[in-house]
Structure 1
Amino acid sequence: MRRPALLLTAVFGLSLVACERQQPSTSPQQPQSPSSPQDLAYCAKLTELYQRYVGPDPNSANMAGVRPDVQGGEAVAKCREGDARASIPTLERLLKDADITLPPRA
């Protein structure tokens, strides 16, 4: 019964390690333009497909024994934060790799 909690703890720990390993950019960052409503809607569709068919929801009770996909989880999180431009390419690639047909883009 404690397995899901242990798995979530491990996933959280790995995500922290990944964040710490990222090197700071030496060039000044360009300001990002906000994602369009169309991009956000498309990103939400990709997220739904990804979670349904490729990457399980980490809050699900069915997570026991499933190895999480860090790239997919990060893309889903960025999409939910409103950064569709950063997450769409990753979600599209993961869905294509799983032979999932991509939804039409508005």
Structure 2
Amino acid sequence: MRNRKKQETVENLTYYVVQTYRVAGRNGISADDPMPARDRDHAMRLVERYKPLRAGVVAFYRTGSPATGDWEDAVIIARHGKLPAGVDGLRDEDEADFERPDLDERDLKVA
């Protein structure tokens, strides 16, 4: 009988990314390759390192299931400098998340 190794799967995973941008042409920017970060602190250190060297830098994280491919929207933990318009639409970490699908009218009370 074969001895099969048990495969472990991760239900939810959070990954951190730092994206830097360079000046490109007139009033434009160009994205560098994204840099993975080990955790939030590492992402923040990368932001501080690249702030004086790049036109813009943004750090964010995403949480989701690698098995199903379902991922939450990216959440920005730091931004600096000139960034593409698409970054403006992303939620910052300190913003309240009022979209709670598990709430219904019975959960809402008027003072």
TM-score (norm 1): 0.25
Rg larger in structure: 2
Higher helix content, 1 or 2: 1
**Structure with the larger strand share:** 2
- What is the TM-score of this pair, normalised by structure 2? 0.24
